[in-house]
Amino acid sequence: MDKKLLVPILTIIVGGAWLLNVLGIMPGVDWLWSIGLATSGILTIVIGKTNKTTIITGPFLLVASLCSILRQTDRLALDREIPILIIVLGVLMLISQCIKSPIPPEAMPQTAKDDEK
């Protein structure tokens, strides 16, 4: 995704969520929390690029946002949301290990040469 499209797309999502709330289609949803989770997931993927960490974190936050909306609209019970999120986390961790993707630089161990600096 092109980074310059991110702000307009997020603005459309916020406006759409607000409209759903005002029209009574999805009232009672804490949109700040749900959109915050989704935004964090999208930004993780877009800014962090693809690596072993973002493959897990970005999609997990998007699924957590969806589960949050479903729970707040009484379409998903909390006792089911948590196990679903744990399963999704495990699947994403498995995918991260099975596909060839780089390790983020922050997770790389420092070498003795770096310690000398």
Residue 114 is assigned to a structural domain of this protein: no
Q: Can you give the pLDDT at residue 106?
A: 73
- Model confidence pLDDT, tens digit, residues 18-28: 888 888 887 77
pLDDT in tens, 26-74: 777 888 888 889 989 988 888 888 888 999 999 999 999 999 999 998 9
Looking at the structure of the chain, the number of domains it has is 1
- pLDDT tens sequence across 74-99: 999 999 999 999 999 999 999 999 98
Which pLDDT value is given to residue 113?
44
Whether residue 83 is contained in a domain is answered as: yes
Residues 11, 35 contacting (CB under 8 angstroms)? no
Is-contact 60 76, C-beta < 8 A? no
Q: Is residue 112 part of a domain?
A: no
Domain-embedded: residue 106? no
Question: Is residue 84 in some structural domain?
Answer: yes
Which domain range does residue 25 map to? 3-100
